Structure 1
Amino acid sequence: MTASVTVLPVPARPRRTGATKPARVAELIREMIIQDTLPPGAPIRERALAEQLQVSRTPLREALKILAAEGLVEIEPHRGAVVAAPSPTEMRELLQLLGVIEAYAGELAAASATEEEIREITALHYEMLAAYTRGDRLTYFHRNQAIHLALVRATRNRTLVAHHGRINARVYRARYISNLETQRWEKAIEEHEAILAALQRRDGAGLAAILREHVLRGWDETQILLAAQVAS
């Protein structure tokens, strides 16, 4: 049965300066994927989606190529695009790798981040807390991701940034799902408080340990939620 496609309003989020139209369309589709408006395995009907997003099919197809490169969409010759449906084993392996990458990034960032970068991450942290207080999971998720990306960028290691970006894109939906359970969401807030404190102390070893555990705990909760979805 073909999944219905309903475009949800996308909350305001930090925009990449100079983003192209395909990049903006990819961002909208990415939101639909993480919120299960386009669930794993769902076929993407280009004409219907283009009409709903009010774009032509050319930028839509370019957007799908962007998402395919990220691993969120699979494009099958002569059949079109479908939302990727990675196996639990693949997701576990990706998140284990991401935990290692973010831990190393934390160790480097504690030494290399400028005071301005630490202030930026602190500001994002409090924006994230405000979203948590409002119960706004999507805005919370975007601020959460902005913190992780800012930490990685603060390493000034372009190779690390590139590899992190590729892996993180593939687990984007899983990282969003991990905070749908209220107790895990509360625990994630505690972990982010510890992440910020370690960064402000410039405690590289401590920050690395917290980040690795933070990513892996998120996967533990995601497995439970995904299993519940399958059972229902």
Structure 2
Amino acid sequence: MHSVTLNAIRDHVIHPPDNGDAQPISRQALHLAVMDRLRKMITEGTLPPGAHLNERALCEQLGVSRTPLREALKMLAVERLIELLPNRGARVVTLSEGDIADAFELLSGLEALAGELACERITQTEIDEIQALHCAMDACHASGDLPGYFDCNRRIHDRINAAARNPALTQMYQSVNRRLQALRFRSNLHAGKWERAIDEHVAMLSALRQRDGVALGRLLREHLMAKCASVLAHRRAAA
């Protein structure tokens, strides 16, 4: 994971850190690439909640002009990851405790439904692909690679959702999940919670292989609500 120090954040205004995210973005689908990079930076905490976004610094860091950056910011505002402030630029959204609890409750229900439907509709090839992702995720865990682990984790949940074969469900799932990505990422920073998440994924994969929709739905719901409890406990401790 990229190293981020307190010196990179002054008065909640982001200045470009010296890390791997500073590589210029190609011009192809530029605003989409910028949006993906910013979303990753929000998820991993390089752009923390409440941080004001310095357009000049971000343009320099990403190697783009202000036009694609502003297009990306508009799209992230639609996803409710940032908020645009009249005549004051933009800042990363800060979720209240109620926002977090409500979003996790909704997402846990969506994941449970996706798991139940996936067990009815998934192909063996898709199960094999999820198994491969699980092995890669386990390897990332063993090496302490949290960003790599989180990427594999996200792809596993996305594959289960896609196997449900319900576009309306997928659209809602993606919308809610994007608001919680940063919180889900940080929920694994504690070693004990990370170990527990791995065990939960082993059980989920077993239920999927057995096509036990009831069991997988229950495990997914419990998995998400455990993350919610972890996030809220950490928030209260920090407060």
TM-score by length of 1: 0.92
**Distance in 2 separating the partners of 1:218 and 1:43:** 27
Q: What secondary structure, in the 3-state scheme, does the structure 2 residue paired with 1:171 have?
A: helix
Structure-to-structure mapping, 1:68-217, within 5 angstroms? 68-217=77-226
* Number of residue-to-residue matches in the alignment: 222
Cα offsets for 1:173-212 (capped at 9, x unmatched): 1111111111000000000001111000000000000000
**CA deviation map 1:110-166 (0-9, x unaligned):** 010111111111111111101001100011011101100110011110000000000
In structure 1, the gaps of 5 or more residues are 11-18
* Aligned mates of 2:152, 2:232 — CA distance in 1: 23
1:26 pairs with 27, 30, 35, which one? 35
User: What residue identity is the alignment partner of 1:106?
Assistant: G
Task: Name the SS for the 1:74 alignment partner.
Answer: strand
Residue 9 (str. 1) matches residue 34 (str. 2): no
The partner residue of 1:45 within 31, 46, 54 is 54
Say which is worse superposed, 219-228 or 73-82, in terms of deviation. 219-228
Asked whether the equivalents of residues 14 and 54 of structure 2 are also in contact (C-alpha less than 8 Å), the reply is no
Deviation at 1:6, TM superposition (A): 3.5
Contact 1:177 1:225 in 2 (8 A): no
Checking the alignment, whether the CA contact within 8 Å between 2:14 and 2:52 is kept in structure 1 is no
Q: Is the 8 A contact 1:198 1:204 kept in 2?
A: yes
Q: Is the 8 A contact 1:41 1:84 kept in 2?
A: yes
1:94–1:167 contact (8 Å) kept in structure 2: yes
**Contact map agreement 2:50 2:92 (CA 8 A) in 1:** yes
Q: Indicate if the aligned counterparts of 1:112 and 1:156 stay in contact, CA closer than 8 A.
A: yes
CA distance in 2, matches of 1:23, 1:226: 31
User: Is residue 55 of structure 1 aligned with residue 55 of structure 2?
Assistant: no
Task: Give the secondary structure class of the aligned counterpart of 2:20.
Answer: coil
**Is this contact kept in 1: 2:121–2:163, CA < 8 A?**
yes
Q: Is the 8 A contact 1:125 1:147 kept in 2?
A: yes
Conserved 8 A contact 1:44-1:83: yes
Describe the SS at the equivalent of 1:224. Answer: helix
Which deviations, in whole Å up to 9, do the C-alpha atoms of 1:37-61 show, x marking residues without a partner? 2111111111111111111111111
Tell me if the contact between 1:95 and 1:216 (Cα under 8 Å) persists in the aligned partners: yes
User: For the Cα contact (< 8 Å) 1:124–1:143, is it kept in 2?
Assistant: yes
Question: Identity of paired residues, percent?
Answer: 42
